[in-house]
Amino acid sequence: MKIADVRIFPVWIAPRNRLMVKVETDKGYHGWGESGVIGREMAVAGALRHFREFLIGKDPMRIGALWQEMYRGAYFEGGRVLAGAISAVDIALHDLVGKKLGVPVYQLLGGAHRTRVPCFTTVNMPIGPAALAEAKRLAAQGWPVIRMCDGMPGEPADRTLYEPRASIAHTAPWIQRVREEVGRGTVLGIEYHHRLSVAEAASFCQKLPPGTLDFIEEPIRAESPDAYAALRRMTGVPFAVGEEFASKWAFAPFIERDLINFARLDLCNIGGFTEAMKVAGWCEAHYIDVMPHNPLGPISTAANLHFAAAVPNYAWLEERTRDYDSSDALFPGHPRLDGVTYPVPAGPGLGVEFDETLAEESFRFWEPPHFRRRDGSYTNY
């Protein structure tokens, strides 16, 4: 059996683009993967076109060797764009091989540790009265883990205006109110989307009574482990970090120096199952739980369910179907949430397909908001 084609589908599926990859063989088997480099899909598509040139004719059963060839096959190794492309191919190869052997992907990863995958949910609006009401509603529904977002005071006419200190002053008391309303039994976190400096993140954490937060996600940018080490000395709030990392090497200093408590690896950015399993094992050795980033579509979610089944040190999967709904027709067999957990898929491969014939809307260029401060300078989205 040989790889016959690598087909690339950068398509608009509201509210933004997604990039699916289909690996086909000369024996009729195929597999689906998804890349997670949101907003730069055409860059990933370009990398995939390069990979396609040497992947055709190769044995799809040699997944690990093909990973190494994609990563090491050119002088310039790694980076988020190449890792996003490798991820999509790696996930598709696991799907393909699972179908060929008639087993779920998690069997290729060592078998299942669990039959259901615990999830966390997000109040996906700026923190304030409406967000507080939504958090109370979700807690009443039985969600054990709720993640909040930061906010700005008032109702800014310009939604791209972002002042970190103003956000801190506004967000801290609201987070305390959320904790009071949802109770101590709910795991409570906040996503700061790397918008703060070390001093700002420390100031935010220090404004909260001990025990308010169970984790703070991406409080600062993650290029510098030393910056996280400095922040760790200033606060005891657990850190959830890693959704931007594109390799085990990026995780290395954060794991070895005990700078993270929840590994937010992204299966569609880290290098697929092949790299994610290595990071998960490394985390297990340091008593770090895995808490994957999953803001994409049903292929990503299905892949994460198999990963979750195969990993012992698993915390929660990011659940976003309330924000990114997908039709049954476009993704046949897509995972379905059962209460606040997902059942582990039982069929061969990933268990989900993508009907490219129904993806009528072609790629369209899309940008996230470009945040700026009052002085006109740009800041982190």
| SS3 category, 19 | strand
Distance CA 293, CA 149 (A): 15
* Residue keyed to tokens 């958090």: 135
Task: Report the catalytic residues.
Answer: 193, 293
Asked if 7 and 22 count as a contact pair (C-beta separation under 8 A), the reply is yes
DSSP code at position 238: P
Distance CA 11, CA 363 (A): 4
What totals of helices (H) and strands (E) does the chain contain, helices first?
11, 12
Q: What residue type is assigned to position 41 of the chain?
A: E
DSSP code at position 4: E
Cα torsion 320, 287, 256, 187: sign: positive
Q: Which residues, other chains included, contact 21 with Cβ-Cβ below 8 Å and sequence gap of 6+?
A: 6, 7, 8, 9, 32, 33, 34, 35, 48, 88, 89, 92
* Residue keyed to tokens 């310039």: 76
